[in-house]
């Protein structure tokens, strides 16, 4: 059992390193960062249905596990759907195809110069960014072929397609994938209008979650 609660400051492109920012027990229960397979009996509870949460939930299923995603809103997407610039990634396939010279080290340097105060978080964010963008393109057939160099960046690394709102396009693709899995199998569930408020602990190990829905508390393990 694992509880996964994505923090907003990690949502840009660090979701594949999910064992870094989840509960410590996640590394054993859900070793997806190394792409190891998850035992089907293990359920990962993801709190929040934005881009980070949807990415984490889809990866749980991809790695062979089961997932429950809870979101306090009436529909998933969160602030990720409002992004209008694109998603940043260094050393992506798109960049290489277009002859853009970029690297994780350069992205990391740019981010730290921008005022980031947690180098260990920046390392995960930037280090996984290229693989994250490639994963979105390969797994969800997204068009992220347009590149832009935005403020604070030393190279064109902001990816988007031709759509007006790339954040909405990217996030909805992941939502639709998880919804299809939930409709056809028992490997994914999505509960909206559910406000998570308490972690259920067994000593130092998180074993479940309490959320409020419709005025009633519900438990999941």
pLDDT surpassing 80 at residue 161: yes
Asked if the model's pLDDT at residue 32 lies above 60, the reply is: no
Is residue 133 within 8 A of residue 125, CB to CB? The reply is no
Is the model more confident about 35 or about 59? 59
pLDDT digits (tens, 9 = 90+) for 96-124: 999 999 999 999 999 999 988 899 999 99
The pair of structure tokens assigned to 46 is 């993801």
The residue extents of the domains of the chain are 2-79+168-220, 85-163
DSSP per-residue string spanning the chain: -EEE---GGGTTT-GGGHHHHS-TTHHHH--GGGTPPPPTT-EEEEE--SHHHHHHHHHHHHTT-EEEEE-SSSSS-GGGGG--S-EE-SS-HHHHHTT----HHHHHHHHHHTT---HHHHHHHHHTHHHHHHHHHHHH-----EEE--TT-SS--EEE-SSS-HHHHHHHHHHHHHHHHHHH-SSEEEE-S-EEEEEEEETTEEEEEEEEETTEEEEE-
Please give the class, per CATH, of domain 2-79+168-220.
alpha beta
More confident residue, 188 or 11: 188
Tens digit of pLDDT for each residue in 122-153? 999 999 999 999 999 999 999 999 999 999 99
Q: What is the pLDDT of residue 116?
A: 85
Nearest to 103 by CA among 126, 124, 125, 132: 126
Angle between helices 51-62 and 129-140 (to 10 degrees): 70
Q: Does the structure show a pLDDT above 60 at 3?
A: no
What is the CB neighbour count within 10 angstroms for residue 183? 8
The predicted structure's pLDDT at residue 39: 55
């Amino acid at each position: 059992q694992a509880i996964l609660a994505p923090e907003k400051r990690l949502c840009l492109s660090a979701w594949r390193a999910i064992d870094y920012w989840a509960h410590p027990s996640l590394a054993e229960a859900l070793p997806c960062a190394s792409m190891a397979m998850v035992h089907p009996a293990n359920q990962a509870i993801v709190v929040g249905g934005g881009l980070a949460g949807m990415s984490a939930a889809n990866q749980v299923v991809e790695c062979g596990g089961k997932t429950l995603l809870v979101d306090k809103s009436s529909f998933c997407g969160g602030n990720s759907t409002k992004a209008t610039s694109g998603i940043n990634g260094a050393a992506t396939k798109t960049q290489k195809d277009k002859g853009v010279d970029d690297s994780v080290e350069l992205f990391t340097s740019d981010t730290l110069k921008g005022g980031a105060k947690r180098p260990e978080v920046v390392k995960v964010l930037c280090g996984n960014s290229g693989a994250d963008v490639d994963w979105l393109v390969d797994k969800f057939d997204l068009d992220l072929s347009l590149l832009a160099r935005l403020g604070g960046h030393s190279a064109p690394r902001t990816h988007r397609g031709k759509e007006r709102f790339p954040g909405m396009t990217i996030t909805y693709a992941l939502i639709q994938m998880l919804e299809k899995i939930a409709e056809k199998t028992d490997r994914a569930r999505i509960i909206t209008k559910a406000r998570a408020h308490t972690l259920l602990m067994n000593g130092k190990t998180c074993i479940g979650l309490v959320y409020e829905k419709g005025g009633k508390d519900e438990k999941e393990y």
